[in-house]
Chains A and B, each alone.
Chain A
């Protein structure tokens, strides 16, 4: 029995299921909170489940919500693997969306497929710029990226409010007294095609394909290897001849680019215009933050981030139906998301502890001599 628990794959299975336990713990606390709010937790969670998976429309909504989370999330996988904490997903989404929308509204003479392609690239570029600036500031001016990305978020929100109330405002809104900050609608031929008779759009498929590509990038290319090497040990990387600063910039730039694309797909796939409500998360719906949650839940692995995004998309969609059915504010789900993050990073403790024990056991048996720092090597090789 003891031998079984020490075996490699059981151990890996436990490691892989830690986030699931973390999510269950958060939901359990949520149940207690619901109980204290005098709501039947079973009813509330049933409303949440039905809202997210109850019908094909509901499931499509879940996937629609999951799409920006996945795009932001795979970007987060890149930056966090490079030990760069990108909190700027919100701002990067916004700038990407502004650029993409601008293309979509101004190149009306060109064929649909071409404009969609250019717009998505513009979104990618916008996010890359907004991520690249903190990257340069970190690499060459040692400005902490957590702080600069937070500032860049605030600046992007104001830029969005400026453009949507000013130069890019919907002409029909411009004459009204109560101006809704929104752009004109995109031409029908510029909209991302739908995949089923629901609101599910091509962006979801693009996100999944990109997740696979990011996996390949991180574990099958030199670029990805170097980003992760810099993240693991910048000093050793520098010693090995890697230009550390360049990869810090690249990690943030790429991370931002995917967030920018997320913003573009929201415009071209969901709303067909850029619209906000004046609040800081009015356009993004906090996807720039929730994408971080999804990526962490997916253990910073692009492929695992796919189911993680669907889970959090489901929570977001389900939260709305929970609000309707049992009158529990959807803010509960925001709080639970926070707990999931805390629990997931805390559960790493047990993973590390088991790893140490395995190492100690191997030392005692002296059958297989332990490798130096197996954790880091394993992470570099498999990413698990």
Chain B
């Protein structure tokens, strides 16, 4: 039975679903990375994703328009980001803890709204796969990379875009300087508060999209607590990726490929207890964190509120 894993069709299946599964992690982790590069740890990603997933699903269900769903998820995520920004930037609240608060808020709110507005689990017709002309005809490669839905493509385009913004633009320079040395940035006339507001709201928006990618592009349902820890993993992937877009991409791919592998192991009925299989990506993440983390330095001002010296 193990040998079934190594047939070409199954391998292509594993890779294709691995590519797909990385989508929510990429949106959420890239967003979180911007926040952390500016010195703010947002632990509320999971809550933002849940609310985003619900908003997208509910709007798509009632209007029949998937794009309005994405927009709703972005708005909800941005609002959550705005609240987080106010609490961490203006009120200097401890970031790890306020993040847990926002997580619980999103968890409860999305569940409450789901029960009050929908009541039962329904499905929508999510974003359909789009075959890229010509490229999707390449055997194997075409199925793995070029027959995905729009939000999957978007997630992968986000990585080079984030790299460009962070490393090649003035905005990116400001974000990095605010995260490394806010005092110096401030004395050069960069508004630490404004930069952090921007990155946290951007992060919230992308977390909302991450949630939407689950509810109207990958799974096409909404359920209570449907992210089940995905948002926390997304935060972990930022550390994992050493606060760099390409690193985050590597982490997201590794995590989702292992996840995809364990899903296929269950589908094929290979006699490994499913619980052990589900555990694998988490164990692996810890192991990789042990190996990699000590080599990369976190942004110096991470989790530190900025206060101008009088």
Contacts and interface: CB of A to CB of B under 8 A. Distances in A.
Interface of A: 33, 37, 85, 87, 137, 141-144, 146-148, 150-155, 158-159, 161-162, 165-166, 279-280, 289, 292-293, 296, 328-329, 331-343, 345-346, 348-349, 352
Contacts of B112: 33, 328-329, 331-332, 335
Question: Which of B108, B285, B293 lies at the interface centre, i.e. has the most chain A CB atoms within 10 A of its CB?
Answer: B108
B111 A329 contact: yes
B279 interface: yes
Given A154-B229, A338-B103, A147 B282 contact: no
Given A333-B108, A338-B108, A342-B87, A150 B229 contact: yes
Contact of B101 (A162, A165, A338, A348): A338
A147 B236 contact: yes
Top-10 shortest CB links A-B: A335-B108, A334-B108, A338-B104, A341-B101, A338-B105, A331-B111, A342-B101, A162-B275, A147-B236, A345-B93
Contacts of A143: 286, 289-290, 293
Contact of A161 (B235, B275, B294): B275
B232 A338 contact: no
A210 to B, nearest CB: 23
B101 A340 contact: yes
A86 to B, nearest CB: 10
Contacts of A165: 275
Contacts, number: 148
What is the predominant secondary structure among interface residues of chain A facing chain B? helix
Contacts of A345: 87, 93-94, 97-98, 101
Interface string B228-243: 1100110110010000
B289 A147 contact: yes
Nearest to B240: A147
Contacts of B286: 137, 143, 148, 151-152
Contacts of B101: 338-343, 345
A165 B274 CA distance: 11
B57 interface: no
A141 B293 contact: yes
Given A342-B105, A346-B93, A141 B87 contact: no
Given A340-B101, A342-B101, A346-B87, 12 more contacts: A141-B290, A141-B294, A151-B283, A280-B229, A328-B112, A329-B111, A331-B107, A332-B112, A334-B108, A337-B108, A338-B102, A346-B98
A333 B228 CA distance: 19
A296 B100 CA distance: 11
Interface string B106-121: 1111011001100000
Contact of B279 (A155, A280, A332, A341): A155
Contacts of B125: none
